[in-house]
Amino acid sequence: MIRFLQLVVQNGSFILFLILQTYCIYQVIQYNQRQKDIYIYSSQKWTNSLQSKINTVNNYFSLRKKNDDLAQENANLLTQQLNHQSLLNTIVSIDTNKQNKIDSGLARYHVLAAKVINNSVSKVNNTMTLDKGSKAGVLPGMGVVGPHGVVGIVTDTSEHFSLVMSLLHTKSKLSVKLKRSHFFGTLSWKGRNPEIVELNDIQKYADLKLNDTIVTSGFSIVFPEGLPIGTVDAFQVEAGGFSYSINVKLFENLSALDHVYLINHLYKSEKNQLENLSTKYE
Amino acid sequence: MNSTTLLHILRIVILSLIQILVCKHIPLQSGAVQYMFLIIYPVGLILLPLQLPQFFNLLIAFACGAFVDLFYQSPGVHAGACLWMMFCRPLILKIFEPKSGYSTNQHPTGDSLGLFWFLQYAAVLMLIFFIAYFSLEIFTFVYFGEIVLKTILSFLVSMFFIFILQIVISPKQ
């Protein structure tokens, strides 16, 4: 402190000069519009370039959160889209069948966003693990779709995680149809190429071409109607058979999945209950 | 406060008044932009006695500049330029110091140290003043050419008047 005071006494005039000069420059900037503009312009030029660099670095820290936010937003948009589709279907059916009334619960689907945290494609029975569980509202039987197409079905859930039976599972059976001609069949996997799944049960008189798009049929309530799955890669009729054996190339690359969406049909139990009645008449 | 100090302060006030009442209104403009400015009041600061502490010199310079600023509607510009000039004064005095050094009864005037000495000394300080003044006024070195042009023209016309003033008034102190 004493040294500092000595310094002040010794360089008193210089410090006074600095103080007064600073005050002058402050005054110049404060009261003269022209200098003020120049000051703001040039200081912003410097700070802006620094600020943009800081932002670039900061953006990296928030990327994870932004990704999650975007996934959530996508889930919301997907919910809306699916509900609009089902609403449109309802309206069409009202037109054809006038005495029907629109039921109050038009929203039929709810979509959750989740992240794949464990995945495999090389085994015979492939599963994947998602980072959302029963606490976030995931239920067994929910459909899982990726950004490009169908991925699989939730089989089990714990509190914070859920297990998904991928399309690349020999027990996976999915009801699908040809988008163009509406013939439907069953999708399954034989456990070889993770990019190709097999579509059976399409009768050999069906209208079928290469590169036809395969979409979900909507018969099983797991997936709404019309979600993309893949395209026809190759097809043939087995000797003496009645149906095509079709190789379907999947849209979704199951080995590079990150964010997925879980689709829940809100009236699933109601439909299952109703369909269970059918056993009475067998 | 003795009479000498009072004399100096009075001289500074009178020169500042001449500056704001007369010199400011002399039209030296030929084109669209005025490049020539007649500024003579820093002479009062240049003539301050050698013995005065630098601390007071700076305060006087600031007060003088701020006073002129009030009438030029340019807060800080004159005061800043005066401060720069006064800040450099001890250095310039050291450079132009006679071989025998300054004696206590000498003053930085033409009468005391010779007219040529005074003109040299005043010219360097006025040059510093003008560079600082126009730099602060324009506030960017983008218009460097403009600063130089204004400095040279204003310096020439101001020095001419300072020279005349020095001969006509010939201050002893």
pLDDT digits (tens, 9 = 90+) for B16-51: 888 888 887 777 776 666 778 888 899 888 888 888
- pLDDT beyond 70 at A229: yes
- Domains in chain B, number: 1
Pick from A17, A26, A27: CB nearest B87: A17
pLDDT of residue B82: 92
Pick from A13, A27, A34: CB nearest B76: A27
- Cβ pair A42:B140 closer than 8 A: yes
pLDDT of residue A102: 43
Identify the CATH number of the domain defined by range A64-269.
Answer: 2.40.10.340
Of A258-262, A266-270, B56-60, B80-84, which range is least confident?
A: A266-270
B75 touches chain A (CB under 8 A): yes
In this structure, are residues B64 and B19 in contact, taking their beta carbons and an 8 Å threshold? no
**CB contact set of B37 (below 8 Å; sequence gap of 6+):** B28, B150, B154, B157, B158
- pLDDT beyond 80 at A125: yes
Instruction: Name the most confidently modeled range: A29-33, A40-44, B11-15, B110-114.
Output: B11-15
Chosen from B45, B91, B136 to mutate, greatest number of chain A CBs within 10 A: B136
In a 3-state reduction of DSSP, which class is residue A249?
strand
- Cβ pair B54:A38 closer than 8 A: no
- Cβ pair A25:B59 closer than 8 A: no
pLDDT of residue A226: 85
- Cβ pair A38:B76 closer than 8 A: no
Pick from A12, A24, A34: CB nearest B79: A24
The CA-to-CA distance between both ends of chain A, in Å, stands at 101
Full domain range(s) for residue B126: 3-24+38-169
Q: Assign B127 a pLDDT band (cuts: 50, 70, 90).
A: very high
B58 touches chain A (CB under 8 A): yes
In this structure, are residues A124 and A227 in contact, taking their beta carbons and an 8 Å threshold? no
Q: Assign B124 a pLDDT band (cuts: 50, 70, 90).
A: very high
Question: Which of B120, B17, B130 shows the shortest CA–CA distance to B81?
Answer: B130
- ipTM rounded to 2 decimals: 0.73
Pick from B55, B74, B87: CB nearest A32: B74
From A51's Cα to the closest Cα of chain B, the distance in A is: 23
Q: How far is CA A127 from the centre of its chain?
A: 18
From A29's Cα to the closest Cα of chain B, the distance in A is: 9
Q: Assign A232 a pLDDT band (cuts: 50, 70, 90).
A: very high
From A12's Cα to the closest Cα of chain B, the distance in A is: 7
Give me the mean pLDDT over the B54-70 stretch.
87
Of A131-135, A176-180, B101-105, which range is least confident?
A: B101-105
pLDDT tens string A66-123: 788 888 888 888 888 887 777 776 655 555 554 444 444 566 788 888 888 888 888 8
pLDDT tens string A112-123: 888 888 888 888
Instruction: Name the most confidently modeled range: A99-103, B137-141, B158-162.
Output: B158-162
Domains of chain A, by residue range, sit at 2-63, 64-269
Neighbours of A87 (CB within 10 A): 14
pLDDT tens string A4-27: 777 766 777 788 888 888 888 888
In a 3-state reduction of DSSP, which class is residue B172?
coil
Give me the mean pLDDT over the A260-275 stretch.
83
